[in-house]
């Protein structure tokens, strides 16, 4: 049963939601969230990897600050958008929904409460802080149902760059994952031969962090409670 929402809803995007939100919205503007930072801290076995070759996706982790995009969704569309986001994000329970205060960078200096997807640190897919070279190899060698992991990294960094958001560690990560891709990014290209890079590096040692069989089921209660699906 879909529950109607009585007011407009704000959504905070910091990863793929910045460049592929997938839902209708009334406005979108740059926004800042304090107390959390953007990090490749989640081992992905669905969107950007598989159980045999996990990739990495971004999560909101504790500490620091994060610049992203805030979307305002009309009340009449909010229930449908929340259902869509839960089906997209709450696959294994590695994210939890949180209501966080974000500062809008639209000149209004408004602070609004937005829904954001925060990493669940006790989940077995949470890998914490890893050396950039480990992250780079795991990213360039992975592909999931949403495409190559390297494309995910490049699209995120390109959006941050065009938005005027500096993330030096992510730029360094691109250079480590695929040096020629870093050149393409500087030239403004949006696509690289990620599949070829993945094949060329397939022989390298695999440092990917894997989830033990059955562990993910312990975290799916949020999916069931929110009406999401385990796809």
User: In whole angstroms, what is the distance from residue 57 CA to residue 65 CA?
Assistant: 18
End-to-end CA distance of the chain: 20
Q: How far is CA 155 from each of CA 97, 122, 192, 231, rounded to the nearest angstrom? A: 24, 28, 10, 24
Domains and CATH numbers, the chain: 9-208 (3.10.490.10)
Angle between helices 132-140 and 168-177 (to 10 degrees): 50
Establish whether 89 is a catalytic residue: yes
Q: Whole-model pTM? A: 0.79
pLDDT in tens, the chain (231 residues): 455 667 999 999 999 999 999 999 999 999 999 999 999 999 999 899 998 899 999 999 999 999 999 999 999 999 999 999 999 998 888 999 999 999 999 989 899 999 999 999 999 999 999 999 999 989 988 999 999 899 899 889 989 988 999 999 998 998 888 876 666 555 555 555 555 555 555 555 555 555 555 555 555 544 554 544 332
Residue 45 corresponds to which tokens in the numbers above? Answer: 């076995």
Catalytic residue of the set 67, 89, 97, 167: 89
The alpha carbon dihedral of 33, 122, 92, 212 has a sign of positive
């Amino acid at each position: 049963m879909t529950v109607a929402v009585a007011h407009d809803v704000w959504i905070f995007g910091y990863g793929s939601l910045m460049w592929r939100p997938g839902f209708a919205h009334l406005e979108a503007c740059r926004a800042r969230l304090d107390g959390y930072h953007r990090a490749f801290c989640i081992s992905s076995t669905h969107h950007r990897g598989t159980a045999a070759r996990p990739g990495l996706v971004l999560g909101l982790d504790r500490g620091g600050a994060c610049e992203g995009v805030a979307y305002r969704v009309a009340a009449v569309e909010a229930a449908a958008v929340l259902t869509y986001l839960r089906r997209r994000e709450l696959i294994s329970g590695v994210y939890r929904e949180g209501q966080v205060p974000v500062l809008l960078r639209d000149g209004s200096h408004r602070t609004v409460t937005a829904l954001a997807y925060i990493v669940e640190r006790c989940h077995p897919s949470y890998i914490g802080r890893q050396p950039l070279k480990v992250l780079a190899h795991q990213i360039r060698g992975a592909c999931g149902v949403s495409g190559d992991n390297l494309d995910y990294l490049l699209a995120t960094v390109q959006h941050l760059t065009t938005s005027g958001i500096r993330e030096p560690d992510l730029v360094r990560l691109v250079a480590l994952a695929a040096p020629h891709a870093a050149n393409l990014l500087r030239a403004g290209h949006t696509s690289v031969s990620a599949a070829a890079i993945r094949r060329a590096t397939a022989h390298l040692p695999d440092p990917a962090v894997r989830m033990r069989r059955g562990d993910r089921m312990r975290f799916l209660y949020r999916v069931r409670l929110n009406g999401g699906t385990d796809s």
